[in-house]
């Protein structure tokens, strides 16, 4: 039987002036690499601390391996912790740092040696065993910290912004290693990050948090193609266009929405006559020098070459501004006239949020 | 200001060489990003231009005239240091009004500038707040508004977006650029993040250990990096080692360690020379069947990672780990653990002499 390795059941946590977790329920499967993302203050770090036993929830329960752990201190929960700050003993070399935990717990010297060898090998530290932490790059130091955390024999890895202090290149390398290691050692991992890109790169599933609540859980594909709200649509992918419209009909399971005088078909929930907001990702806005049926005329306001894509901001004749991302093989001049087509089959309509669009998608 | 010229600036702090002969020019209205790893000399450069540090040698010229003899406030530059720099006891409005008032503008003109700048950063409605009542991101936007309202010829921004949440950072990059462009400002923007540099800048200056590595448009730097360090700093990179076995007509045949022969475009290499051949992940092409033509290597898909518009494909090719990146709708043709052919287009290869100090040192940030 595949027991849920970690389960949170109706967990709430209040700090003096703020709700950090508001009735959160989650199940993370055995061996799963699970990410928790959200803006600053969304409660994601508190969630991790509750699982670790660093913070005690006000309400609800936490189970690890099917066992209620509410009353277990952090040392007894069998978790390996890793944070943005790198915690190493500066006066001990890599080997001593990694083998510290089994040594002080009185493991046989042969066992200590085996654990040390296995982990330094697995984390690419074989050549650095006698190096002092200060001689290593930040990326290597963070790998030592991870090896040390794992040496305790934990099979649940809890990571709070583990790549936050690294340069972008080291961060990309280490995130690949983190996933490979977790899968190779059959660990369950819960990884908290504010970077949706990092989460997409490592996770089997992702929980998106906002204002202390989990607003959606899904695979990277599910969150990207079927976001549950305008907020998730904006958060996953980094940038999103929102167009306002009205539902005018229904056809073949799709809604017909009037957007700026254009009748478009898109996947949505909603009824005829209702006001909707249509989320269109910049990569589903196509630019062309020639007009075609259903295209809109506009003007290129700005262009940024971003390596694997080019980002354009375009103003339509009606005054609406859209962002488009195109392959770098095409180039459109700033100030030039352009025709823009939206891949409506990729667009998603949402009921117009009662609180207003800008509040509904705010990063809070 | 029509042109700012930085001429052969050097600056030492004890034994550390912060700037070692830095020269470049900025045209009026141009947006330049200065980027490089920690310790590259970026902030020192900005402070020398601002007049907060004196260089050991070299010059800073505005339209041909040296400004080194001028005090910071006489240079008509606006310098925004990294980190929090607002006056804590002043309202948002008074913080932004500080520069124009110090310049002796009338209250009417001051009010107009402050309103415009605060509207641009979306915080006009918070004008009566004190800095501690705002979030970190809001404070940073106020600091930006203050720099914009100063009326200076040249904005010197040190990591202006670093205190922001990543997502806000990504959105504000483009706003900041548009704002500067719409106001006709000349900007030098320091960031350690190359992606941020690409998003904001007309031209990018890459610094390392006080030495200019490259100065060019984002396309030039990303597509044709001047050296291995710039190639690695400016984006993800697959690095292969080998040696030249034939060189003719702008083409090289490189014997790659463990892979076999690779045909690439490249000049100025000798037969027998050790080289590094690098490919951006999106430059690699994948196919299930072997296609005709050179540079196809059999490999295996290790992992597919869906990142939205693009999917990263981790591959194993001849014992080496290689990463490709392709549009997600193309990546759906490939499966984990399945065999695949990796094509390395000759024209997309970045070829460099093998670094004498070793590969790790050449790539280190």
Query: DSSP character for A237?
Result: T
Helix (H) / strand (E) containing B195: helix B194-200
In this predicted complex, what is the ipTM? 0.86
Structure tokens at B147: 């720099």
The residue count for chain B: 365
Contact with chain A for residue B162, Cβ under 8 A? no
In the prediction, which pLDDT does A2 show?
46
Question: DSSP alpha helices (H): ranges in A23-137?
Answer: 44-52, 94-98, 100-104, 109-122
CA A359, CA B47: separation in Å to the nearest integer? 39
List CB contacts (< 8 A) between B234 and chain A.
Answer: 307
Cross-chain residue pair B178–A224, CB shorter than 8 Å: no
Closest Cβ–Cβ partner in B37, B178, B307 for A197: B307
Structure tokens at A254: 């799709």
Q: Do residues B331 and B324 lie in contact, with contact meaning Cβ atoms separated by under 8 Å?
A: no
Closest Cβ–Cβ partner in B165, B232, B309 for A194: B165
**pLDDT tens digits for range B193-238:** 999 999 999 999 999 999 999 999 999 999 999 999 999 999 999 9
Q: Do residues B269 and B252 lie in contact, with contact meaning Cβ atoms separated by under 8 Å?
A: yes
Contact with chain A for residue B195, Cβ under 8 A? yes
Q: Do residues B303 and B314 lie in contact, with contact meaning Cβ atoms separated by under 8 Å?
A: yes
Domain with CATH 3.40.50.300 in chain B: 3-232
Spell out, as residue ranges, where chain A has pLDDT lower than 50: 1-2
In the prediction, which pLDDT does A4 show?
60
Cross-chain residue pair B306–A283, CB shorter than 8 Å: no
Taking one residue from A and the other from B, the number of pairs with CB-CB distance under 8 angstroms is 99
Q: Nearest-CA neighbor of A177 among A224, A133, A223, A122?
A: A122
Tokens 């979306």, residue? B122
Question: How many CB atoms are located within 10 Å of the residue A132 CB?
Answer: 16
pTM, full prediction? 0.89
- What DSSP line would sit under B7-28, residue for residue? EEEEEEETTEEEEEEEEEEEET
Nearest chain B alpha carbon to A326: B309
Contact with chain B for residue A40, Cβ under 8 A? yes
* C-alpha distance from residue B17 to each of B44, B55, B56, B209 (Å): 11, 11, 11, 7
**pLDDT tens digits for range B125-180:** 999 999 988 877 788 889 889 988 888 889 999 998 887 777 778 878 888 898 88
List CB contacts (< 8 A) between B305 and chain A.
Answer: 200-202, 220
- What DSSP line would sit under A181-232, residue for residue? HHHHTT-EEEEEES-HHHHHHH-SEEEEEETTEEEEEE-HHHHHHS-SSHHH
| Smallest Cα distance from B117 to chain A, Å | 20
CA B86, CA B146: separation in Å to the nearest integer? 9
Contact with chain A for residue B191, Cβ under 8 A? no
**pLDDT tens digits for range B124-139:** 999 999 998 887 778 8
List CB contacts (< 8 A) between B222 and chain A.
Answer: 305, 307
| Smallest Cα distance from B229 to chain A, Å | 12
List CB contacts (< 8 A) between A323 and chain B.
Answer: 174
Domain with CATH 2.40.50.100 in chain B: 236-363
The alpha-carbon radius of gyration of chain B (Å, integer) is 24
Q: Do residues B55 and B68 lie in contact, with contact meaning Cβ atoms separated by under 8 Å?
A: yes
Cross-chain residue pair A305–B217, CB shorter than 8 Å: yes
Which residues, at least 6 apart from B178, have a Cβ–Cβ distance to it below 8 Å?
A: A301, A302, A313
Closest Cβ–Cβ partner in B38, B218, B312 for A305: B218
Please compute, for residue B107, the number of CA atoms within 13 A of its CA located in the half-sphere on the CB side: 1
CA A249, CA B25: separation in Å to the nearest integer? 58
Could you confirm whether domain B3-232 is CATH 3.40.50.300? yes
Closest Cβ–Cβ partner in A176, A201, A313 for B307: A201
Contact with chain A for residue B37, Cβ under 8 A? yes
In the prediction, which pLDDT does A85 show?
87
Cross-chain residue pair B217–A137, CB shorter than 8 Å: no
Structure tokens at A159: 């990571």
**pLDDT tens digits for range B69-114:** 999 988 989 998 887 678 999 999 999 999 889 888 899 999 998 9
Q: Nearest-CA neighbor of A213 among A6, A8, A5, A71?
A: A8
Cross-chain residue pair A238–B199, CB shorter than 8 Å: no
| Smallest Cα distance from B167 to chain A, Å | 6
Q: Nearest-CA neighbor of A302 among B2, B179, B191, B196?
A: B179
Contact with chain B for residue A194, Cβ under 8 A? yes
Structure tokens at A86: 């790198």
CA A140, CA A121: separation in Å to the nearest integer? 13
Query: DSSP character for B307?
Result: -
Q: Nearest-CA neighbor of B321 among B212, B229, B236, B240?
A: B240
In the prediction, which pLDDT does B223 show?
96
Contact with chain A for residue B199, Cβ under 8 A? yes
Q: Do residues A236 and A208 lie in contact, with contact meaning Cβ atoms separated by under 8 Å?
A: yes
List CB contacts (< 8 A) between A39 and chain B.
Answer: 165, 167
CA A322, CA A312: separation in Å to the nearest integer? 8
Cross-chain residue pair A167–B37, CB shorter than 8 Å: yes
Q: Nearest-CA neighbor of A44 among A149, A176, A161, A156?
A: A161
Nearest chain A alpha carbon to B176: A302
In the prediction, which pLDDT does A70 show?
96
Q: How far is CA A324 from the centre of its chain?
A: 23
Q: Residue A24 forms beta bridges with which residues?
A: A11
Tokens 């089959």, residue? A345
In the prediction, which pLDDT does B186 show?
96
Q: Do residues A285 and A338 lie in contact, with contact meaning Cβ atoms separated by under 8 Å?
A: no
CA B325, CA A101: separation in Å to the nearest integer? 40
Cross-chain residue pair B195–A302, CB shorter than 8 Å: no
**pLDDT tens digits for range B289-324:** 887 778 999 999 999 999 999 999 999 998 899 999
Q: Do residues A186 and A5 lie in contact, with contact meaning Cβ atoms separated by under 8 Å?
A: no
Question: How many CB atoms are located within 10 Å of the residue A118 CB?
Answer: 15
CA A289, CA A337: separation in Å to the nearest integer? 7
Structure tokens at B230: 């710039």
> Starting at the edge strand that comes first in sequence, how are the strands of the sheet with A59-64 ordered?
A18-29, A4-15, A59-64, A67-68
Nearest chain B alpha carbon to A204: B305
Cross-chain residue pair A304–B174, CB shorter than 8 Å: yes
In the prediction, which pLDDT does A1 show?
40
Q: Do residues B127 and B141 lie in contact, with contact meaning Cβ atoms separated by under 8 Å?
A: no
CA A189, CA A192: separation in Å to the nearest integer? 10
In degrees, to the nearest 5, what angle opens at C-alpha B170 toward C-alphas B169 and B173?
A: 80
Structure tokens at A197: 């890109």
Question: DSSP alpha helices (H): ranges in chain A?
Answer: 44-52, 94-98, 100-104, 109-122, 138-150, 168-184, 196-202, 220-225, 230-235, 357-360
CA A125, CA A140: separation in Å to the nearest integer? 8
Cross-chain residue pair A307–B235, CB shorter than 8 Å: yes
* C-alpha distance from residue B19 to each of B3, B45, B75, B357 (Å): 21, 7, 21, 21
Contact with chain B for residue A196, Cβ under 8 A? yes
Q: Nearest-CA neighbor of A145 among A178, A107, A183?
A: A178
Report the SS3 class of residue A107.
Answer: coil
Q: Residue A101 forms beta bridges with which residues?
A: none
Contact with chain B for residue A39, Cβ under 8 A? yes
What is the architecture of the domain spanning B236-363?
Beta Barrel (2.40)
Closest Cβ–Cβ partner in B165, B174, B308 for A363: B165
Contact with chain A for residue B222, Cβ under 8 A? yes
- DSSP tally for chain B: helices H, then strands E: 10, 20
Ramachandran assignment for A215, one of left (phi > 0), alpha (psi -120 to 50 degrees), beta (any other): alpha
């Amino acid at each position: 039987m595949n027991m849920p390795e970690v389960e949170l059941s109706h967990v709430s946590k209040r700090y003096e002036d703020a709700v950090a977790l508001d009735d959160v329920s989650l199940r993370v499967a055995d061996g799963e690499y699970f990410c928790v993302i959200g803006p600053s203050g969304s409660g994601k770090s508190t969630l991790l601390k509750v699982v670790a036993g660093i913070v005690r929830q006000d309400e609800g329960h936490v189970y690890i391996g099917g066992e209620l752990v509410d009353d277990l201190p952090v040392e007894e929960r069998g978790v390996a912790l890793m944070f943005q700050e790198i915690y190493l003993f500066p006066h001990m070399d890599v080997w001593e740092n990694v083998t510290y935990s089994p040594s002080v717990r009185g493991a046989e010297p042969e066992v200590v040696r085996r654990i040390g060898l296995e982990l330094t090998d697995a984390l690419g530290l074989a050549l650095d065993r006698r190096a002092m932490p200060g001689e290593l790059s930040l990326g290597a130091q963070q790998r030592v910290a991870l090896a040390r955390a794992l040496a305790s024999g934990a099979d649940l890895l809890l990571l709070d912004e583990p790549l936050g202090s690294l340069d972008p290149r080291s961060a990309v390398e280490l995130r690949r290693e983190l996933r490979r290691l977790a899968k190779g050692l059959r660990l369950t991992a819960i990884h908290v990050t504010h970077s949706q890109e990092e989460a997409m790169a490592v996770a089997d599933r992702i929980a998106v948090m906002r204002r202390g609540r989990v607003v959606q859980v899904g695979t990277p594909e599910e969150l990207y193609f079927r976001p549950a709200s305008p907020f998730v649509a904006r958060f996953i992918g980094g940038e999103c266009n929102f167009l306002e419209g009205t539902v005018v009909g229904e056809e073949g399971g799709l809604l017909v929405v009037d957007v700026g005088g254009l009748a478009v078909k898109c996947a949505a929930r909603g009824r005829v006559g209702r006001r909707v907001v249509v989320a269109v990702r910049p990569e589903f806005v196509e630019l062309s020098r020639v007009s075609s049926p259903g295209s809109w005329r506009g003007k290129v306001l700005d262009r940024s070459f971003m390596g694997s894509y080019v980002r354009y901001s375009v103003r339509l004749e009606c005054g609406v501004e859209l962002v488009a991302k195109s392959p770098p093989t095409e180039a459109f001049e700033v100030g030039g006239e352009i025709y823009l087509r939206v891949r409506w089959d990729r667009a998603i309509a949402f009921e117009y949020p009662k609180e207003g669009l800008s509040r509904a998608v705010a990063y809070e | 200001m029509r042109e700012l010229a930085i001429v052969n600036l050097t600056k030492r702090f004890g034994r550390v060489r912060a700037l070692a002969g830095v020269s470049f020019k900025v045209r009026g209205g141009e947006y330049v990003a200065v980027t490089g790893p920690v310790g590259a000399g970026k902030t020192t450069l900005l402070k020398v231009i601002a007049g907060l540090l004196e260089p050991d040698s070299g010059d800073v010229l505005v339209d041909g005239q040296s400004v080194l003899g001028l005090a910071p406030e006489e240079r008509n530059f606006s310098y925004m240091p990294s980190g929090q720099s607002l006056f804590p006891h002043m309202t948002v409005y008074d913080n932004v009004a500080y520069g124009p008032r110090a310049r002796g503008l009338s209250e009417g003109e001051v009010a107009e500038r402050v309103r415009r700048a605060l509207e641009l950063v979306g915080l006009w409605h918070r004008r009566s707040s004190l800095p501690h009542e705002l979030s970190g991101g809001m404070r940073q936007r106020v600091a930006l508004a203050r720099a914009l309202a100063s009326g200076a010829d040249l904005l010197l921004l040190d990591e202006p977006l670093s205190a922001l949440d990543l997502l806000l950072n990504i959105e504000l990059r483009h706003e900041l650029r548009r704002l500067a462009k719409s106001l006709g400002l000349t900007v030098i923007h320091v960031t350690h993040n190359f992606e941020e540099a690409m998003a904001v800048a007309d031209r990018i200056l890459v610094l390392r250990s006080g030495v200019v590595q490259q100065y060019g448009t984002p396309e030039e730097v990303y597509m044709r990096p001047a050296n291995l360090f710039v190639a690695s700093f400016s984006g993800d990179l697959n690095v292969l080692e080998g040696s030249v076995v034939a060189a003719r007509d702008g083409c090289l045949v490189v014997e790659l360690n463990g892979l076999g022969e690779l045909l690439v475009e490249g000049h100025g290499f000798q037969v027998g020379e050790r080289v590094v051949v690098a490919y951006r992940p999106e430059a690699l092409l994948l196919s299930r069947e072997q296609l005709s033509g050179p540079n196809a290597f059999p490999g295996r898909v290790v992992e597919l990672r869906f990142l939205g518009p693009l999917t990263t494909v981790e591959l194993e090719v001849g014992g080496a780990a290689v990463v490709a990146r392709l549009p997600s709708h193309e990546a759906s043709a490939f499966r984990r653990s399945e065999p695949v052919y990796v094509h390395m287009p000759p024209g997309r290869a970045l070829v460099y002499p093998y670094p004498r100090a070793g590969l790790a040192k050449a790539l280190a940030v």
